[in-house]
Structures are given as C-alpha cells and as structure tokens.
A and B are shown apart, each in its own frame.
Chain A
C-alpha cells in the first residue's frame, strides 16, 4: 500500500530517501506514512528529512512515547518513540518511529535539530520514562517534581495519586533566559520552593 502524499514527495520517494539509512515502512500505519529507523540512525534521518531539498520537514509536531506492554501479539521491543513531522513547504507528513528495548530505554535527543523537541522530550520522559541522551534539561514537564514513576506506562496504576508537598517555582529556564538577555536578576525566583507548605496538614475548620 503506498498512499500518495500530495503535493510534496510521494511516499515511495520518501521511502527511497530513507532506505540507505535502513528506514522500513511501518505497515501498521494504514492512513499515513510511518517509517521505522534504528535509534543509531535517528538523528541522521531527521537531519536528512529536515534539510533534504525535496523533503523539507521543517516542523516536528510532537515526540510521542509508546508503551506496547499490553498490545496484543506484540513481539518487538516494549517501547517506541515516534516523531510526527510536517513540511510547511510541501505540506506532506511523515512519522519516524524508533523502537526501544525495556532494559535500555534511551534515544538520542534531537533538541538541537528541532527546538520544539526540547519540551516534547521532557514531556515524553515525564510521562513514559524515555531517556533522551544529550538533552540539556531533562526534567519533568507535566507532573510535579516529587512524582515517582511514569504514569503513561501501562504498568502504572492509573488511579495511583501522588501528593506534592513543596511547590516548584518552575521558572528556572526563564531566569536563565533573562540573565542571558542581559537583565540583572536581583533575587532568586520568587521561590516558594523550600518553604514548608502544609498542603495536607491539619487545618482549622471554619465555623458556619
């Protein structure tokens, strides 16, 4: 099955482009074009797709982690990372997919190829627990900093709640950026971090 992708390159041409890097079409994707590559070739493939004259995939839409733990009849590695790409030049799309083994859950970071990958990879690390090697600031994005585990893994009990006792100011990146822009940051960020917060401590009842 080779669905034509208009008006950019046809699927066959894109597959031919990735073939030297070991790119194989993922037949499970019946509507779009998904190509599997090895994680060793991931950065090479993304660079080719971004800069290739006929490809010009200039947008990385997301970085999705997939856990195939409970997927029926699945014999491949447990995890996968998928990179949906879009070209605003040719308006064609392609998804790059990398399979990752459970005992070595790591892929190279692509934050220097696509700026959008920075936070997308942080989210993927936070929710699925994929390690992105070379990421400048691989910390949780959605869950709080006291969270243990990765909630979108299929073996995480989805109703297991984790309380946060100390707030996270979350503006470390902003502070760094302001300093880089030449602003003089007089004080540390309005730090609620470090202050003891009685989030779930005993409280006085309001009389009614």
Chain B
C-alpha cells in the first residue's frame, strides 16, 4: 500500500495549521470537563455515608475519577449523593438542598434506604428519595461497598458524556 498525502486544500484546520488545532463539538468538550470534575455534596444520614468516606479516602480514592472535591455547600456542588435513610421530617431539607444546587446537577441515590426506604417500611421513612427529587443513578446494597460508589460515578460519567446542550435547552434546563 502506497502512502497518499492528504491534499493541503482539505477543509480540516489540523491539516493546514498543524497540531495547534483540534476540531470537536461543543458537547464533547463541555461533557468532558463536567464528567471529569464532579464536585459531590454528600447528604449522609446513615451507614452508607461511612462507605462514602471510604470511597473518598486513599484506599479507594475517588480522585482517580476526578470527583474528590467534596463540598458542603449545595451552591458549590453539582453531584448530590444521598447516602442513608431519609425521613419525612428531613424531606423538605433535602428538597431545599437540591433546589439550591445550580444546573447542571446530578443525583446518586446510594443504598437501599435512599433508593426504596430499605427495611424501614414504616410511618416515618420516605420510600425512596425519587419521591422528592429526580435521581440519575441508584446504588444497591445495605450499605454498598465503596467499589459500588465508584461504579455509580463511572456510570454517571457515561451518562454525562451522552448529554447534549440542545436537548437540555429543549427541556428548558439551563445548558
């Protein structure tokens, strides 16, 4: 097979201008930045929060996935991790925290309690936080292991990768 040089007139900046240029889509760049720098807000109410600490600490080290900057203000976070049981008394607080977060924002429901109420099938426990706020990724387990938290973050990164500004605008969500 013989080498055939690409014609210089081709409308690809990389060809005419060299390595100084990369062409891509806005979505790809924005999603690349968003997915690799998630700032989590831990809403830890039970033992799942201990596993969250395990995920953040050196042994499992979530900074390998760029989500190590834990924020305790919803205004500085874009990933809400609910790790633990949520009661009806707490429900308005959780909703308020979600409302205070800026777009774009994502939610991970960690463990059986946050996902379904767990074994607290009773008068005081919210049977799954998706009764109050939308959830992107659910984690099974009681409590889930730190690896499960990591997998949820990787799954969420995959979803962020497929987001598009146009779609968000159509849904009325700030891009």
Report if B172 contacts A (CB, 8 A). Answer: yes
Which of B89, B132, B136 sits near A144, CB closer than 8 Å? B89
List CB contacts (< 8 Å) of A169-208 with chain B. Answer: 192, 197-200, 203-208
Q: Which residues in A have their C-beta under 8 angstroms from that of B123?
A: 151, 156, 158-162
Bound Cα distance A197, B93 (Å):
9
Report if A165 contacts B (CB, 8 A). Answer: yes
Report if B173 contacts A (CB, 8 A). Answer: yes
Taking a contact as CB atoms under 8 Å apart, the answer to whether B96 and A197 are in contact is yes
Known: A206-B134, A208-B163. A158 touches B122 (CB 8 A): yes
Could you tell me the distance in whole angstroms from the C-beta of B134 to the nearest C-beta in chain A?
5
Which of A156, A199, A206 sits near B106, CB closer than 8 Å? A206
Could you tell me the distance in whole angstroms from the C-beta of B82 to the nearest C-beta in chain A?
15
Could you tell me the distance in whole angstroms from the C-beta of A68 to the nearest C-beta in chain B?
20
Report if A87 contacts B (CB, 8 A). Answer: no
Bound Cα distance A167, B164 (Å):
36
Q: Which residues in A have their C-beta under 8 angstroms from that of B162?
A: 208
Q: How large is the interface on B (under 10, 10 to 19, 20 to 34, 35 or more residues)?
A: 20 to 34
Report if A166 contacts B (CB, 8 A). Answer: yes
Report if B159 contacts A (CB, 8 A). Answer: yes
Taking a contact as CB atoms under 8 Å apart, the answer to whether B105 and A206 are in contact is yes
**Which residue on A lies nearest to B105, using beta carbons?**
A206
Bound Cα distance A198, B131 (Å):
12
**Which residue on A lies nearest to B156, using beta carbons?**
A208
Bound Cα distance A206, B175 (Å):
11
Report if B147 contacts A (CB, 8 A). Answer: no
Known: A204-B173, A206-B106. A199 touches B124 (CB 8 A): no
Question: What are 24 sample pairs from A and B whose C-beta atoms fall under 8 A apart?
Answer: A142-B124, A143-B89, A144-B88, A156-B123, A158-B122, A158-B123, A159-B123, A160-B123, A161-B126, A163-B88, A165-B92, A167-B93, A192-B93, A192-B96, A197-B96, A199-B91, A200-B131, A203-B133, A206-B104, A206-B106, A206-B134, A207-B167, A208-B136, A208-B160
